[in-house]
Amino acid sequence: MAEHSLVDLRSDTVTRPTPAMRRVMADAEVGDDVYGEDPSITALEERVAAMFGHEAGLFVPSGTMGNQIGMRLVCEPGQEVLCDADAHVVTYEMGAAAAIFGISTRTVVSAGGRLDAAQLIEQVRPRDNWHLTGTAAIAVENSHNRGGGLVQPLAELQELWNWSRRSGVAVHLDGARVWNASVAAGVDLLTYGRLADTASVCLSKGLGAPVGSVLVASAERIATARLWRKRLGGGMRQAGVLAAAGLHALDHHLPRLAEDHEHARLLAKRLGVDPASVETNMVVLDDVDAPMLAEAAKAQGVLISQVSARRIRLVTHLDVDRAGIDRAADLLGGLLDR
Ligand code: TLP
């Protein structure tokens, strides 16, 4: 089957740079960013920091690096980060917090990933006790990946933030898809950014850039983050070609996320999934034979991802148009007999 006829719903990470994006990448002004001399990277860092109301930003190769450095900035080795049991930072980042930074993580099982500030706050442990592992930070994910792209309630984020100012426990935001949350909820990025001490946002998910995330925080913290990035081997040289793709994505791909959300709702409707469960660009199929469905769909050119033996995730993005959605819905609907 020709590559272009595939409908790839495994993730929004699978997008390829558009022709227009490739042109700005080719024309990007670059320099050696380890010397701080890449104007495209500097422009991207300043722009994203301002969008989220933070003093500074740091371009990093991946969301994983953004999250891990972000958490390290607000948590010392031997302390803990508290988060939801299904959070990406503890599920899909290969134990990095423990393996690299000596950070302990503790998780709370929430209702499908939805933030309940009081539930987390209740679990926080003091940092001045002779026995306990002190809680230095709470990590929040918005939108929530394993929660099926759910958008965190603003009131809960605000409650957590207000409490965190009183308690001295920091808040890290895994904002890989905070763009989707913002578009879906009509909450601006500045509002989300101001409810976190550190935030990692991805350019390579719904925004469609090929590589990269930006970590935002105070200028002092970002100066420390720059050292960690270099230590981890993430100091990049003429990576302005990548930053240019990110800048282009912010200009052209942010407002169109509403279209992905519409496509996800459409898919859900066609597959008998409650459209109310679709808040952004993901559809979850539960109680299905996931390996069978994935294999049968793949044989006919539709790629979907298995979250577990009984759960499938479909993710809409800018490389799947309405015709692709219809094709996937026809095929999956037939396979599921829905
Ligand atoms: N998520 C990927 C996989 O790792 C599961 C995907 O296909 O959804 N935070 C969140 C909420 C994410 O969903 C991801 C990627 C990351 C962080 C990590 O980003 P990368 O892959 O750039 O390290």
Count of CB atoms within 10 A of residue 59's CB? Answer: 27
Q: How confident is the model at residue 261 (pLDDT cuts 50, 70, 90)?
A: very high
Which option is the CATH number for 31-252: 1.10.10.10, 3.40.640.10, 3.40.50.80, 3.30.365.10? 3.40.640.10
For residue range 285-328, list pLDDT tens digits in order. Answer: 999 999 999 999 999 999 999 999 999 999 999 999 999 999 99
* 143 C-beta closer than 6 A to ligand 1: no
In terms of Cβ atoms closer than 10 Å to its own Cβ (0-12, 13-18, 19+), residue 135 is buried
Q: Which residue from 14, 83, 145 has its CB within 8 A of the most atoms of ligand 1, so it is best to mutate? A: 145
Alpha-carbon distance 169 to 225, whole Å? 19
Residue identified by tokens 């302390």 is: 79
What is the 127 CA–ligand 1 centroid distance (Å)?
30
Q: What is the pTM of this model?
A: 0.97
Alpha-carbon distance 23 to 245, whole Å? 9
* Among the listed residues 302, 289, 291, the one whose alpha carbon sits nearest the alpha carbon of residue 328: 302
CATH number belonging to domain 3-15+256-337: 3.90.1150.10
Does residue 88 come out as left (phi exceeding 0), alpha (psi in the -120 to 50 range) or beta?
A: alpha
* 13 C-beta closer than 6 A to ligand 1: yes
Count of CB atoms within 10 A of residue 130's CB? Answer: 4
Residue identified by tokens 């469609």 is: 208
Alpha-carbon distance 148 to 48, whole Å? 26
For residue range 214-240, list pLDDT tens digits in order. Answer: 999 999 999 999 999 999 999 999 999
What is the 138 CA–ligand 1 centroid distance (Å)?
18
Alpha-carbon distance 150 to 142, whole Å? 7
* 152 C-beta closer than 6 A to ligand 1: no
**Domain range list for the chain:** 3-15+256-337, 31-252
Q: What is the mean pLDDT of residues 42-64?
A: 98
What is the 304 CA–ligand 1 centroid distance (Å)?
16
